[in-house]
A and B are shown apart, each in its own frame.
Chain A
């Protein structure tokens, strides 16, 4: 049986790496895309995939075309690459704003358009990594929240636009996931402790594997009638204005 073929951008660490591992376990042939040759090679070697090195924030980046060439087509494209800035609106420098929009909005748009012919040929699906902050914003990550709201709107628009061509488009909206986003507008950071994170109602901080399970479902045949959705995977954090106080371990 011919394996399904997937491209995962931002696939060398965090949620993207977890998605690569999960898809490979499920029998997919995976193209791991990232900016670092070393990390992409390592992940590809680990899962038996192929490494694609590129910067999706670059307007001439051809990650999608190279992945399609390497795998002989694409059944799923998972646009997961993103950057974050821990800053409220007044403390967001122009250069950081521009970079954040470039990677989290424009690159997603550009790569989605590049993916369409491949996904139309395979009757496949596009999956965009949005965020719970795009569903319900967070002032301390203002520009990120704005960009992720736009990623969700892009998901819904493209789902309606490309549905008649047989292409599904969905988004995942992860909550706080350990070890947190490592790629910021100012470079890569080392993982920090999650001790101070607010616990969701289910009590546990999410892991990459939790998000990967949802991603694997949405690109699978089991989700063949699901399109235009933004699936929250946040252990209940967006269920109430005070959900972070629900767990017994938190002072009320």
Chain B
């Protein structure tokens, strides 16, 4: 098994890369070169940039930059796996806003939504099983690594094109935090 971790974003990427090749450059051409060189059977794409706040407050150029570092790089990696006709399991790790957006963290929610759809359309590619793990900022990197290990290491062909949300139930219902506080009072 050859595991490759692509991502520039902190402790989660480091936890996933334990003992594996780690590529920090998000540039599209570099990502392709690394995938061709390493020919991974397990690929983790970590896209957990710091928050840039709400969408309306950010310049479009900033959005372009962040999308290039995350979504575009991830797409390039998946394209290269397909080109090489490798049999590879892939996980994409991104913020929870990819399923239910948080407007205060709109930029990351937008990028994560694109990554989730990327995962969904890529799950149809022959030889590639790709899933997404959606994490909150507070999610322990070790927990993410545990789940990623499971999703990368399984032989279950049925686990493909799905998402696991690791936020402790925060987004399970509307205003879960507030409701929990009310119940505890």
Contact = CB atoms under 8 A, between A and B. Distances in A.
Given A139-B121, A153-B110, A161 B28 contact: no
A157 B55 contact: yes
A101 interface: yes
A9 to B, nearest CB: 15
A185 interface: no
Contact of B103 (A59, A134, A156): A156
B176 interface: no
Interface string B11-43: 000000000000000001000000000000000
Most buried by A among B78, B110, B118, B125: B110
Contacts of B67: 101, 105
Contacts of B109: 153, 157
A157 B117 contact: no
A21 to B, nearest CB: 30
A116 interface: yes
A157 B110 contact: yes
25 contacts: A88-B125, A89-B121, A89-B122, A90-B83, A97-B75, A101-B67, A101-B72, A105-B63, A106-B63, A109-B60, A112-B56, A113-B60, A137-B120, A138-B121, A142-B122, A146-B114, A149-B117, A150-B110, A150-B117, A153-B97, A153-B109, A154-B55, A157-B54, A157-B101, A160-B101
Nearest first, the 3 A-B pairs at minimum CB distance are A160-B103, A157-B106, A153-B113
For the residues of B in contact with A, the DSSP-based class is helix
Contacts of A147: 114
Contacts of A152: 113
Contact of B56 (A88, A142, A153, A162): A162
B30 to A, nearest CB: 13
A92 B79 contact: yes
Nearest to A101: B67
A94 interface: yes
Nearest to A143: B75
A134 B124 CA distance: 16
Contact of A150 (B83, B114, B120): B114
Contacts, number: 103
Interface string A98-137: 0001000110011011001000000000000000001001
Given A89-B125, A105-B114, A161-B106, 15 more contacts: A88-B121, A89-B122, A90-B82, A94-B28, A112-B56, A113-B56, A139-B121, A142-B122, A143-B75, A145-B117, A145-B121, A146-B75, A150-B111, A150-B113, A159-B103
B121 A154 contact: no
A158 interface: yes
A94 B27 CA distance: 12
Nearest to B161: A137
Contacts of A138: 121
A146 B56 contact: no
A106 B82 CA distance: 27
B60 A146 contact: no
B13 to A, nearest CB: 22
Nearest to A116: B56
Contacts of A106: 60, 63-64
B82 A157 contact: no
B103 A90 contact: no
Nearest to B60: A110
Nearest to B124: A139
Interface string B74-93: 01101100110000000000
Most buried by B among A59, A92, A109, A134: A109
B71 interface: yes
A95 B105 CA distance: 29
Contacts of A153: 97, 101, 109-110, 113
